[in-house]
Amino acid sequence: MTANPGGTPTIVLVGHGMVGQRFLEALAERGLTATHRVVVLCEEPRPAYDRVQLTSYFSGRTPEDLSLTDLRFIEDHGIELHVGDPAESIDREARKVTARSGLVVGYDVLVLATGSYPFVPPVPNKDAEGCFVYRTVEDILAIEEYARSRAKTGAVVGGGLLGLEAAGALKGLGLAAHIVEFAPRLMPVQVDEGGGAALLRTIEEMGLTVHTGVGTQEIVVGESGAVTGMKLSDGSELATDMVVFSAGVRPRDQLARDCGLQVGERGGITVDEQCRTVTDPDVFAIGECALAADGRVYGLVAPGYEQAETAAATIAGDASAFTGADLSAKLKLLGVDVASFGDAHGTTEDCLDVVYSDSRAGLYKKLVIGRDGTLLGGILVGDAEAYGTLRALTGSVPPVAPESLVLPAGAGESAQLGPSALPDDAVICSCHNVTKGTIRGAVTEHRCTTVPEVKKCTKAGTGCGSCVKVLVQLVNAELEASGVEVDKGLCGCFSQTREELYEIVLALRITSYQDLLDRYGREGARGGDGCEICKPAVASVIASLAPTIGASTYVLDGEQAALQDTNDHFLANLQKNGSYSVVPRIPGGEIAPEKLIVIGEIARDFGLYTKITGGQRIDMFGARVEQLPLIWARLVDAGFESGHAYGKSLRTVKSCVGQTWCRYGVQDSVRMAIDLELRYRGLRSPHKLKSAVSGCQRECAEARSKDFGVIATANGWNLYVGGNGGATPRHADLLAQDLSDAGLVRLIDRFLMFYIRTADRLERTSTWLERIPGGLEHVRDVVVHDSLGICDELEALMAAHVASYRDEWAETVGDPEKLARFVSFVNAPDTPDPVVSFVPERDQIKPDLPLLNIGRRPADEILEGSAQR
pLDDT at position 837, please?
81
When comparing pLDDT for 417 and 761, which is higher? 761
What gap in Å lies between CA 296 and CA 290, rounded to an integer?
A: 8
pLDDT exceeds cutoff 50 at 552: yes
Q: Answer whether residue 683 shows pLDDT above 50.
A: yes
Q: What is the spatial distance between Cα 542 and Cα 568, in angstroms, rounded to a whole number?
A: 14
| Whole-number Å distance between alpha carbons of 560 and 552 | 9
Specify whether the CB–CB gap between 703 and 709 falls below 8 A.
yes
pLDDT digits (tens, 9 = 90+) for 396-428: 888 777 777 777 644 444 455 666 677 787 778
Model pLDDT, residue 826:
59
Contact criterion met (CB below 8 Å) for 248 and 163: no
- Classified as helix, coil or strand, 276 is strand
Determine, yes or no, domain membership for 412: no
Do residues 71 and 164 both lie within one domain? no
What is the SS3 assignment for 418-451? CHHHCCCCCEEECCCCEEHHHHHHHHHCCCCCCH
pLDDT of residue 332: 65
In this predicted structure, what is the pLDDT of residue 840? 86
Residue 867 has what pLDDT?
33
Rounded alpha-carbon distances, angstroms, from residue 848 to 48, 330, 795:
52, 60, 48
Structural contact between residues 312 and 22, judged by C-beta atoms closer than 8 angstroms = no
More confident residue, 411 or 347: 347
Number of domains in the chain: 4
Lowest mean per-residue pLDDT among 292-296, 417-421, 525-529, 847-851: 847-851
- Rounded Cα distance, 755 and 763, in Å: 10
Report the pLDDT value the prediction gives residue 827, as an integer from 0 to 100. 64
Of 377, 327, 326, 325, nearest to 351 by C-alpha is 377
What is residue 66's predicted lDDT score, i.e. its pLDDT?
A: 86
Residues 235 and 280 in one domain: no
Q: Is the pLDDT of residue 714 over 80?
A: yes
Residue 810: phi, psi to the nearest 5? -65, -40
- Kindly report each contact of residues 790-796 with a partner whose C-beta sits within 8 Å and lies 24 or more positions away, as own/partner: 790/754, 791/750, 794/749, 794/750, 794/753, 794/754, 794/757, 795/746, 795/749, 795/750, 795/753, 796/548
Q: What is the mean pLDDT of residues 109-127?
A: 95
pLDDT band at 817 (very low <50, low <70, confident <90, very high): confident
Listed range (41-55, 328-342, 580-594) with the worst mean pLDDT? 328-342
Q: Could you tell me if residue 140 is inside a domain?
A: yes
- Residue ending a domain, among 296, 315, 334, is 315
Report the 10 Å Cβ neighbour count for 349.
7
At which of 804, 824, 857 does a domain end?
804
In which band, very low, low, confident or very high, does the pLDDT at 466 lie, cut at 50, 70 and 90? low
What is each CA distance from 686 to 38, 499, 542, 764, in whole angstroms? 49, 10, 11, 7
The helix/strand/coil state of 45 is coil
Tell me what pLDDT residue 531 has: 81
Indicate whether 207 and 279 sit together in one domain: no
Q: Which value, in Å, is the radius of gyration of the alpha carbons in the chain?
A: 31
1-5, 168-172, 209-213, 228-232: segment of lowest average pLDDT: 1-5
- The residue-averaged pLDDT of 496-518 equals 92
Residue 246, pLDDT above cutoff 80: yes
Confidence of residue 866 (pLDDT cuts 50, 70, 90): very low
How many other CB atoms are there within 10 angstroms of residue 76's CB atom? 11
Task: Give the pLDDT of residue 775.
Answer: 87
> Rounded distance, CA 151 to CA 228, Å?
10
Angstrom distance (rounded) from CA 86 to CA 45: 10
- Please compute the mean of the pLDDT values over residues 198-223 and round it to a whole number: 90
Domain for residue 356, yes or no?
no
Q: What percentage of the chain reaches a pLDDT higher than 90?
A: 51
**Is residue 460, in this structure, part of any structural domain at all?**
no
Residue 552 lies in a domain: yes
Indicate if 96 and 16 belong to the same structural domain: yes
Q: Same domain for 727 and 589?
A: yes
Q: Between 385 and 712, whose confidence is greater?
A: 712
**Per-residue model confidence as pLDDT tens digits over 273-287:** 999 999 999 999 999
- Cβ-contact 387, 339 below 8 angstroms: yes
> Which residue range forms the structural domain that includes residue 535?
498-564
* Mean pLDDT across 565-572: 75
617 and 732 belong to one structural domain: yes
Residue 451 has pLDDT above 60, yes or no: yes
Confidence band for 465, pLDDT divided at 50, 70 and 90: low
- Whether residue 824 has pLDDT greater than 80: no
Q: Is the same domain home to 657 and 773?
A: yes
Burial of 347 (0-12, 13-18, 19+ CB in 10 A): exposed
Query: Is the pLDDT assigned to residue 213 strictly greater than 60?
Result: yes
Tell me, yes or no, whether 235 and 263 share the same domain. Answer: no
pLDDT at 860 > cutoff 50:
no
User: What CATH number is attached to the domain comprising 141?
Assistant: 3.50.50.60
Collapse the DSSP code of 787 into the 3-class scheme (helix H, G, I; strand E, B; otherwise coil) and give the result. coil
Q: How far apart are CA 732 and CA 480, in angstroms?
A: 35
SS3 of residue 39 by DSSP: strand
pLDDT tens digits, 20-36: 999 999 999 999 999 99
Give me the pLDDT at residue 64, please.
84
Q: Are residues 224 and 297 in the same domain?
A: no
End position of a domain, from candidates 529, 564, 599:
564
pLDDT at 852: 33
Do 600 and 551 reside in the same domain of the chain? no
Give per-residue burial for 301-332: e unless 16+ CB within 10 Å, then b: bbbbbbbbbbbbbbbbeeebebeebbbbbbbb
Q: Is residue 30 part of a domain?
A: yes
Of 99-103, 252-256, 588-592, which gets the smallest average pLDDT?
A: 588-592
State the Cα–Cα distance between residues 621 and 613, nearest whole angstrom. 12
Residues in the chain: 869
CB within 8 Å of 426: residues ≥ 6 apart: 392, 393, 435, 436
DSSP-assigned beta bridge partners for residue 611: 619
At 868, the pLDDT band (50, 70, 90 cuts) reads very low
Residues 613 and 646 in one domain: yes
**Mean of the per-residue pLDDT values for the chain?**
86
What confidence category does residue 342 fall into, taking pLDDT thresholds of 50, 70 and 90?
confident
The closest alpha carbon to 332, from 436, 429, 187, belongs to 187
Assigned domain for 474 exists: no
- Is a pLDDT exceeding 90 seen at residue 833? no
Which has the closest alpha carbon to 14: 271, 284, 303? Answer: 284
pLDDT tier, 726 (very low <50, low <70, confident <90, very high otherwise):
low
pLDDT at position 5 = 52
Does 196 map to a domain? yes
H or E element, residue 739? strand 733-739
pLDDT of residue 416: 56
The mean per-residue pLDDT over the stretch 243-252 comes to 93
Average pLDDT on 702-731 reads: 88
Reply yes or no on whether the pLDDT at 488 is more than 90: no
CATH number of the domain at 604, please: 3.30.413.10
* In the predicted structure, residue 164 carries a pLDDT above the cut 90: no
- Sequence-separated contacts (24+) of 529-534 with Cβ below 8 Å: 530/493, 531/491, 531/492, 531/493, 533/490, 533/491, 533/492, 533/493, 533/761, 534/490, 534/491, 534/493, 534/494
Question: How many other C-beta atoms are found inside a 10 Å radius of the C-beta of residue 138?
Answer: 12
How would you classify the pairing of strands 434-435 and 427-429?
Answer: antiparallel
pLDDT of residue 857: 34
pLDDT tens-place string over residues 139-152? 999 999 999 889 99
The helix/strand/coil state of 456 is helix
Axis crossing angle, helix 775-783 with helix 741-758, rounded to the nearest 10: 120
The residue among 279, 267, 260, 277 whose CA lies nearest residue 311 is 277
- pLDDT score recorded for residue 112: 98
How far is C-alpha 698 from the chain's CA centre?
21
Sorted by sequence, the CB contacts under 8 Å of residue 70 that are 6+ apart come out as: none
6 within 8 A of 52, measured Cβ to Cβ:
no
Average pLDDT over residues 43-61: 84
For residue 851, what pLDDT band results from cuts at 50, 70 and 90? very low
Q: Find the mean pLDDT for residues 129-138.
A: 94
Q: Taking 70 as the threshold, does the pLDDT of residue 802 lie above it?
A: yes
630 and 692: one domain? yes
